[in-house]
Every structure is written in C-alpha cells, then in structure tokens.
Structure 1
C-alpha cells in the first residue's frame, strides 16, 4: 500500500516544488517592470524639463546660444501683456478649483445615499469621457450671444433681433473660462470623493455622527471630510495645476487680449521668428514656478482653514445650512446635466445645418454638406486619433497590469511616493516640458514620428489607467489564484485563466479611460507631432477661431463621440461576456 502511494505523494510534492520555483522565477521577471515603467514614464518628463529650462537661461545651441544668461527673463518680465495674462491665469485657476471643490463637497454632503446622488453618479462617466475642448466648444455655441439659448428666447423674451454686443465668450474677466472649467472639473472631483468614501471608515463615521443627532451635511463635513481630504489632496492639486495651465479650453473660452499665460506661451512657441523660442522657454519655466508656488499656497490655505475651523468641527453644532447647501448643490448639478446635454445637442445640430439664421430656434435647412466637404480630413484625423488612442491605452494597460501583478506576487503595495510620481505629469504644466521633449525628439531623430506621438500621449494616459486599475486589482481575492496553483497551474497559467477573466470589466474600462484621455490631448499632439499629424482634437481647437460653426461642430461631435463609443463598447462587451457568469465579473 505504501509502495502504491509513494509515487503519488512524490508526484504531488514535485508539482508543488515546481509551482514554487515557477512563482519565484516569475517574480524575478516582473521585478524590473516598475523600474522600466518609471523610465518610460518619467524619463521624457525629466528630459523635457531640462530641455525647457536650459534655453530659459540662455543655453540653446540649436540657435547658436551657448552662454548662460538671464536676458530672456528680462524680456519676459518687461513684456507688457505679462501682468494681465498672469492675473487672468491665477484668477481662473484658483477660482475654478475652489468652486469645483466646494460644489463637489456640498453635493456629496447633502445628497449622498439619496436617489439624486445615484442619478448624478451614473452621469459622471459620460461627462468625464467628453474631452475638455469638445465640451468647451458646445458650451460656447450654447451661451454665446448668438448661441442656442439666445435663439430659443429671442425675440419673444429678450427682444433681440440681432445678437447683442456682449462679450459672454472670450470675456475679459475669464468668467466663461472659469465656468467651462468648473463644469468639467466638478464631476472629476466628485468621482474622487466618491472613491475616497468607498474606502476606509467614511460610511461608519457618517452613520455614527447622524446617530449623535448631526444633520446629514454637518455630519459629513465634520466627520467624513477630515478623514478623506488627504486621499483627495493629489487630485485637487492636479485640478489646480490643470486649471492654471490649460490651453485648449482657454483658446475656446478664454480672454484674447491678452490671453492667459499658457496660451501666450504656445503662441511664442509657434511664432515663425525663432528668437521667440527662448522667450517661450523662459515663460514655460516661469509657468512651472507659478504652478509649484500655487500648489504651495493652496497647501498653506489648507492648513489655515484647518486652524480656523478646528473649533467649529468640535463645537457640537448639529446643523450646517442644510436647505441652502442642498438647494444650491442640486440646482448646480441639474444645470450641469442640462449644459452637458445641450452642448452635445447643439454641436450635433450645427454639424447637420445648412442654413440657421438668427434668431430662429432651429435651422431652416438641413444638410450633410459639412461632412461631405471634409470627408478626407475627417478620415485622416479620425484614423490618427483611433491609432494613437488605442495603442497608447493598450501599452498603458499592459504596463499597469505588469506593475500590479508584480505587487500581487511579491506581496508589496506601492506607497504614497509612487502615487506622487503618478500624479507628477498631471501637476506639471504641459508647456513646461513638452517643448523640451520636442528638442530631445529632434536630437534623437524621432520628431514628428508615430513613436514620439504615442510616447507623448502615454505620459498622460498611463496615470489614469493605473489609477483606474489599482483598486480592483489590489482588492481582488487572491484565493482564486491560490486554488489554481494548488491544482498545478503555473503562475502565468493562473494569471491568464483566472485573474484576467475576473478582471475583464476593469480592464475594459481602463482601456476606455486611456483612449478617452488620449483623444483629449492637444498640446502633446501639437509638439510631438511636429505638425505632421492631425487628430480630431487639434483640428477642432484650431478651427475654433475660424467662426465656421458647421465645420467646428463636425470635428467636435466626432471628438466627443469617440470616447462615448469606447465606454459603450466596454460596457457592452463585458455584459455580453458575463451574461451567464455574473458572479464571475468584478466591477
């Protein structure tokens, strides 16, 4: 009997030893993936910063400048439009971020757990999927003096037979730019707050505070907000940095005389006179300093507010302007939904319009002529958008999965330092390093190539993809994989047959997110493409100054539809795959 069982026991032991050896080998092979990812991710960023900062201090051998100097800094500080451009940049950045954060906090505090909150939560994905510039174009067509809202109420209510001479869009106080940023950034911060509340003890704290007699708003602000603020601090800094350095939205909605500082910098970079390149590099370095100092100021304001409200948090007051906060926050999100739907609808209407005289509420003649006349360029820009978006998103997913799988197998999770590195490209102004990366690309003879274009998009796609995958990957129950190991499956076989099928839904959504982020990139395409590549975003933004709403709407509509189609495909494919295995899917 013992002789009969001995081969079986020996075989089982050998199988277990082989599995252990395979696991160790796979861990070693994945060990270097995070370092490689950081090299791919942060290498161009560091090189780009160096390539921008050196010309800012006079060292630009390509233009014959090999001596360090501060001459370009003097030119910049003496530039007449700089003070007003800087004022508009700081005003729009800080006000938009503060309003977005306040509205996201107010809505969560007043409506979390109610049906209205769940409805808004479902609306977040399509809003975030629409690129900033597409939504900005629709917003402009909606609110302009000759926009759709004015047409719907004219002349009966307004008495306008012709568009009024009012600077609603491109206003000198950057109000339209601030509103455009708030409409886009509030849903993002709301999503970050929801994600933070789903982790930790936020729900328990809220229930405990309400049990002690606190109203919903007071309970959430006093018990939950201090707990989750550290988790949403980096997204807030990213929103602040974006608002201070945005170019495409500022081109569509922002002031023009003078424009904001990032728009001014891009104009200098694109100036045919190459002597402006040094000035542009100096301004880009100055923009980086402004963003860093702004984040520092925001951090100091956080500490100041914490000291000011420390007594209020513990004074036992049970209410906090419940009705006012509930009414204002709900009204804003109702307006947000209306503006979002109205912006997409007015873009669609203009793209099929042949004749639409003011103040008619709807076009008098419809046509597909705008689509037919631009079919060749539409196909070219659409194909470039699809290729770059798909490849950059796929590479980002592969690198993210490899890094997260390495965490799983080694039993170690990346700390807060890695999170800061992920957010670094989102907190550094694009104009501060993209010119430098272009200089490096020229030296490497890859400027204007597919490699440079995809790489530049990958810098911004990878953080979003990793952040979207990290939570479902890390919280997946590892016992399923362990069972596969016990049954003799190698680590890679368990990975392909068990882990990935269970994570199919998060993987598809990560691909859709990466694709949507790539579609929205304007400056990376402009710099890395070297003018050789057209995407829907670059064409829509460049045409926004032409005044031809029909052609602009064609590009903007496709630009907005592509990410929505990507998310719809992700949802449809995952639902079809798991139609008979709903318990296997992991959302």
Structure 2
C-alpha cells in the first residue's frame, strides 16, 4: 500500500515537473527570441545618450542657426498632419459606419495601405508640383504657358508635407478603427442606440467616441511619432533650407565629424522629449474634457447628417490618381508643360530600369518576414502577453533615436554594412507590426479546438501546428503581408545599417527625388508599390486555394 502510494506520488510529481518545466522552457524561449531583436538596441541607446551629458554639445546645438526654423517646421507639419489625419478618419467612420459603404472601405484599405510612404510622396509631388498635373489642368483653362508664380513659392513650413501625411496616415487610422468597430459589443451598442431613436451622429458622440478614443491613443501616438521623425517624405515634399529636424538629425548623424554626430544625438533626444511633452499635454486636456462630458438629454435629432463631409470617395480617388500619375510618368516620353498627357507612351523607361534595388528589397523583406513569423507566433502562444506594450515601443516613439541607437550598436560590433546587420535593423520595426496584426485574431480564437486536440493526446506545439495555426492561416498571411510592406518602406534603417552597400527601391526612389529623370523616378516608385501589393495579393489568394475543399474555413 505504501509502495503504491509512493509510486503514485512520484508519477504525479514527475508529470507536474514536466508540465511546469515545459511551460517554463517555452516561455523563456519566447522571451529569448524577443530579446535577440530588442536588447542589442539598449547599448546603442547608452552610447547615443553619452553626448547628451556634455554641456558643450548642447551649447553648439542650441546656437545652430537652422534649429529654430527646423523646430517650427517639424512642429507644424507633424501636429497639423496628425490632427488632419484624425479628423479625416473619424469623419469617414462616423459617416459610413455601419453600412455597406463601410464594408467597401474595409475591403479597399489594404490596397491603400500597400502604397509605401515614399512612393505616395513622389506621386503626390507629381500632382501638386509647379509643373504637376493640377497645374497642367488649370493651365488648360487659364491659358498658362509657364507654371504660375504662386505655385513656385517655397513651402517654408511644410504644409504640403502635412497634407500628404494627413492623407496617408488617415488610411492607417481607418484600419485601426475598423479593427475596433469589428468587435461584436460595439456593433450591438450601435444597434441599441439607433433603435432608441438617436441618429448616427448622436450615437457616435454619446456612445462610440467616448469608448473608442482612449483605445485609439496608441495609433494616434504612432502617427504623431512617425510624423515627427519621417525623413523620406520630408526629403521629397518638405522644405530644404532649413529642412525638418528629422532631416537635420539624419545629416548630422551621417557626418564624418564626431562633433556633428554628437549634435545629432542631442537632437534625437530633443525630438523624443518633444513627443513626450505633446503626449502629456494631450492626456491632460483629455482628462479635463472627460470631466466636462455630459450624458444625453433625451432629445432625438431626426435630421440626416449632411453629405458635404463625405470624404470617402475623394480620399480613395486621390490615391488612385497618384498611382495613375506614376504609371503615366513611367511610360511617358517627352512631357512638357502645359500638356495634360505625354507626347507618346513607350516601355523604354522600364526596359532601361535598374532592377537591382527591386531584387534587394525582395530578398530582404522576405528574409525579415520569415524570421519574424515564428518569433511572433511563439510569443503570442507562450510569451507573457502583459509585456506586449514594450514590443510596441518602436511604433510609438520617433524612429530617429532608435535608428541612431541601432547604428551605434552595429558600429561597435562591426556589423554595419553587413547582411546580418541589415536584416536585424529591419526586425525591430517589422516584428511589432506583425504581432500587432496577429494579436486580435489570436485572442478571438476559439480555444475549444485546442482543448479537443490536447484531450486527444496532442502536445501544445503539435496542436498549434496541425490545428490552431492552420485555422489562423488568413491572419497569419495578412500579418506577413503587413510585415513585408513595412520592410519595403524602411528608409532610415536601410540607409544606416546598409552603409550604402545595399540599395532598395525605397532608398533609390528617395535618392532620385533629389534630382534626375521623373520617368526613372516613377519606375522606382511603382516598383516600390508592386512589391507590397503583390504580397497582399498572395496573402489573399493562398487561403482561398488551401481552403477550397474545406467549407468551414473558406
């Protein structure tokens, strides 16, 4: 009896130890994989912060004559672009949700999101430039033979950059909104409010906005952080003398003079402090607004909202127009002002194009995505999810300080201008986006499938490989497409980590935007669009083929 009891206790103890050690090992493995991506940045941040401790560098930085105007331009373009993006996204959501047009918008969003920022900026420049297509259309009515003088006035405060940021980032905010509005509880609340007699605007004002705005805090922060530190769009659309602070930091950090590099490190810290100050101010104002919020007074407004604010179609038409302009310039021969169309179309520009940046971007983005996918899946399955906010840090802080830290770390370890360093520099930005895309579907997964598989004797890993991940194939492939697009769009990490040895479609397009043939520039911009667009197309096509004989998954 005693012997039997002893054997039972030993067996139960060994089973408990194996389960605990297996869970502990899996958790440590997930944390270790994340640490490989994120921890090497910490020494770089330390080395970057060292110059900040010297007052002489601060005096040099503060006495720079370009600094005041660069700060003003950065503040205006970033704040105005972010505010306009928020207004556009919210107006479209309020006008369309719920309804069939909202479903159409959700289907078209991936197409707009697949257009990289640099390619969008180039097409936007072709539209609003002194000899752009808008001027050419006006010239047909006004009989202009030269671009008008008012168009050639320099945009000193980055207003065109702010407008481009507002349009491009409004698509990202609509994507974030669509994820929240897709939740069942939100749609149920909207139905209840509408059945009580409140119109669409009242339902949004009293019920949805107070719930959604706090949850949109991170997307809003990500948009503002990107607007502060964007370099490629600033080079294409922003003022040049002086440029935005992000472009100044980029110039200083790539300078051979250590004093200039130290000045760039100080400026990167200033950029981060500016972001933190604005976030603190917005949170303070939001807390005051919450105290002044009031409940519905019971009055129903039966009038329908005006259709003057329907920005949905113009916003997408603008995106389509930009892509059409890029195609036209890539096929154009001679195209002199004020002609609306080129004199002739041909494939000469494509036949003479350099496809080396295209192939570099293809293998780089593919390698990064295939490395990020297992890390993301292992983290979501076994990692401590309470630390997800730490993984999203690269999305909500200005990119410039982190890129500078990456560069400092790569220089210290002699990994700059290497394939390993280049791929690692992209992992820091791609992995958070892939996890962010997957975390929603992962949480909504019906765990009863896993319980059934485990009851049949499957290990957790085996159940994931044969049950859970095949069911989640659509969001998994969607996250890979998002990661692929993010990698293609990376400009600063490629420029710093690559050291000029690796030229991608993004770095090539930005370099050509400073001067050269518009036809060649349009070809590279279209190649930059084709890559992520193909990734989204493949991500949509593969699940249809895999589930063609499985009715429940089709």
Into which bin does the TM-score normalised by the smaller protein fall?
A: over 0.9
Matching residue within 33, 36, 40 for 2:36: 40
Query: What is residue 403 of structure 1 aligned with on the other side?
Result: 379
Mapping of 1:69-468 within 5 angstroms? 69-155=54-140, 157-167=141-151, 171-199=155-183, 201-308=185-292, 310-311=293-294, 313-319=295-301, 323-324=305-306, 326-328=307-309, 330=310, 332-375=311-354, 378=355, 380-406=356-382, 414-415=385-386, 418-468=387-437
SS at match of 2:333: strand
- 2:24 corresponds in structure 1 to 28
SS of aligned partner of 1:355 = coil
Q: CA deviation at 1:562?
A: 0.5
Deviation at 1:45, TM superposition (A): 3.4
Distance apart, 1:511 and its partner CA: 0.8
5+ residue gaps, structure 1, are: 1-15, 58-68, 408-412
Give the match for residue 569 of structure 1: 538
Q: Using a 3 Å threshold, how does the CA distance of structure 1 residues 572 and 316 change in structure 2: closer, same or farther?
A: same
Question: Residue 149 of structure 2: SS of its match in structure 1?
Answer: coil
Q: 1:20 to 1:128 in 2, by over 3 A?
A: farther
Displacement, 1:139? 0.8
Q: Is residue 410–residue 421 contact of structure 2 (8 Å, CA) maintained in 1?
A: yes
Deviation (angstroms), 1:51: 2.2
C-alpha change, 1:172 and 1:405, in structure 2 (3 Å) is same
TM-score w.r.t. the length of structure 2 is 0.92
Alignment partners' CA distance in 1, 2:14 and 2:139: 78
Greater shift, 554-563 or 220-229, is seen at: 220-229
- CA-based RMSD of the aligned residues comes to 2.4
Q: 1:480 to 1:76 in 2, by over 3 A?
A: same
Q: Which residue of 2 aligns with 1:52?
A: 48
Distance 1:53 1:423 in 2: 22
Deviates more, 1:45-54 or 1:239-248: 45-54
Residues in 2 aligned to 1:461 and 1:56: alpha-carbon distance in whole angstroms? 29
Q: What whole-Å deviation, never above 9, does each CA across 1:37-67 have from its counterpart, x for those lacking one?
A: 441343133233222211233xxxxxxxxxx
The aligned residue for residue 8 of structure 2 is none
Residues in 2 aligned to 1:502 and 1:270: alpha-carbon distance in whole angstroms: 47
Q: Tell me the secondary structure at the aligned position of residue 265 of structure 2.
A: helix
Distance of 2:444 and 2:20 partners within structure 1: 22
On the 8 A contact 1:240/1:295 being kept in 2, the answer is: no
Output the CA distance in 2 between the equivalents of 1:512 and 1:306. Answer: 38
TM score, norm. by length of structure 1: 0.87
Find the residue that maps to 2:339 and give its secondary structure: coil
Once the two structures are superposed, residues 384-413 of structure 1 have per-residue CA deviations (whole angstroms, 9 ceiling, x without a partner) of 211221111122211110011216xxxxx7
Q: 1:267 to 1:175 in 2, by over 3 A?
A: same
Deviations for 1:155-175, whole angstroms, at most 9, x for unmatched residues? 2x1322222233479612322
The 8 Å contact of residues 31 and 379 in structure 2, kept in 1 or not, is answered as: no
Q: Distance in 2 between matches of 1:342 and 1:76?
A: 42
Deviation at 1:560, TM superposition (A): 0.8
Q: Secondary structure at the match of 1:31?
A: helix
- Rounded to whole Å, the distance in 1 between the matches of 2:15 and 2:337 is 74
Distance (whole Å) between structure 1 residues aligned to residue 152 and residue 437 of structure 2: 37
Write the distance in 1 (CA, Å) between the matches of 2:499 and 2:317: 38
Task: Report the Cα offset of residue 461 of structure 1.
Answer: 0.4
Deviation string for 1:410-442 (max 9, x for gaps)? xxx723xx2421221112222113223212211
1:520 Cα shift?
0.4
Contact in 2 for aligned 1:217/1:320 (Cα 8 Å): no
Moved more, 433-442 or 72-81: 433-442
1:109 positional shift:
1.7
